[in-house]
């Protein structure tokens, strides 16, 4: 099997798909989740946004659907539903969390908080530091990049903090939940769609210090139930 990923510039990936098909090679691909809504947050020009959505649907999504290429994608949360309603669900390989790696654990270090992810502007880490200064007398905070011990770091934290301005999906939060570690997540469209129904008490407004403090208090009081 060959895994092909990347924007379809100058029909490059379509040509690769066709070559592999002719040679009898099994191919799979993947795309960013919720990318149209994510892009909308950063592009306020309606014409440009419409143009990018059109390009995404007809140059990225439709070709592998027509060619019956396996697509790695969260099955029930996808841009494919936006413009490609009649695609064959059998060719969607649902992505998920490796629960053998991110195993549930009841053991955690009290008052230990964690952030795992890239250090980029959209992750809003300056706000994370500001929020931590409010609680630094009582809590510790680990800021961790990606590596072989991520799952252990998640298991031993009392809560995972996210301060992202926006996300296309946020697999790290799902990995945290898989380890039994509560998430403190900001109000943004993708998180409201994924988590608000199940964990409304863990949501906070990025600009509201009190809401953040209240979520921490809730986790501390109900850590056994969470």
Alpha helices (runs of H) in the chain, residue ranges in sequence order: 12-22, 35-40, 46-55, 62-66, 80-83, 125-133, 150-155, 171-178, 189-194, 209-221
- Split at pLDDT 50, 70, 90, the class of 84 is low
Least confident of 3-12, 58-67, 106-115, 131-140: 3-12
Residue (of 204, 199, 133, 224) closest to 164 by Cα position: 204
Q: With a cut of 60, say whether residue 83 has pLDDT above it.
A: no
Q: What is the pLDDT of residue 81?
A: 57
The residue that leads in pLDDT, 136 or 5, is: 136
Checking 223-226 for CB contacts under 8 A at 24+ apart, the result is 223/108, 223/158, 223/182, 226/182
Half-sphere exposure of 189 (CA within 13 A, CB side): 13
Residue 136 scores a pLDDT above 90? yes
> According to the per-residue pLDDT averaged within each range, which of 74-78, 86-90, 143-147 is highest?
143-147
Tokens of 127: 């706000």
115 in Cβ contact with 162 (< 8 Å): yes
Residue 34 predicted with pLDDT over 80: no
**What kind of fold does domain 112-221 have according to CATH?**
Rossmann fold (3.40.50)
Question: Rounded to two decimals, what is the model's pTM?
Answer: 0.79
57-78 pLDDT per residue, tens: 777 778 888 888 888 877 555 5
pLDDT band at 5 (very low <50, low <70, confident <90, very high): confident
What residue ranges of the chain are covered by domains with CATH 3.40.50.2000? 112-221
């Amino acid at each position: 099997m060959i895994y092909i990923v990347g924007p379809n510039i100058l029909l490059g990936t379509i040509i690769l798909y066709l070559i592999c098909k002719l040679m009898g090679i099994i191919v799979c691909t993947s795309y960013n989740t919720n990318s149209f809504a994510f892009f909308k947050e950063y592009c306020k020009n309606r014409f440009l946004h419409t143009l990018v959505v059109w390009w995404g649907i007809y140059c990225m999504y439709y070709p592998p659907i027509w060619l019956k290429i396996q697509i790695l994608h969260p099955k029930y949360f996808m841009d494919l539903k936006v413009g490609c309603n009649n695609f064959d669900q059998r060719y969607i390989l649902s992505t998920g969390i490796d629960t053998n790696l991110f195993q549930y654990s009841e053991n955690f270090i009290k008052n230990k908080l964690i952030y795992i992810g890239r250090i980029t502007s959209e992750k809003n880490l300056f706000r994370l530091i500001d929020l931590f200064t409010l609680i630094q007398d009582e809590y510790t905070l680990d800021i961790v990049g990606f590596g072989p011990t991520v799952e252990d770091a998640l298991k031993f934290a009392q809560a995972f903090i996210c301060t992202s301005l926006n996300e296309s999906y946020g697999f790290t939060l799902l990995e945290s939940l898989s380890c039994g570690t509560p998430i403190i997540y900001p109000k943004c469209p993708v998180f409201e769609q994924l988590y608000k129904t199940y964990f409304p008490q863990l949501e906070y407004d990025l600009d509201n210090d009190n809401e953040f403090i209240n979520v921490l208090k809730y986790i501390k009081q109900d850590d056994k139930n969470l």
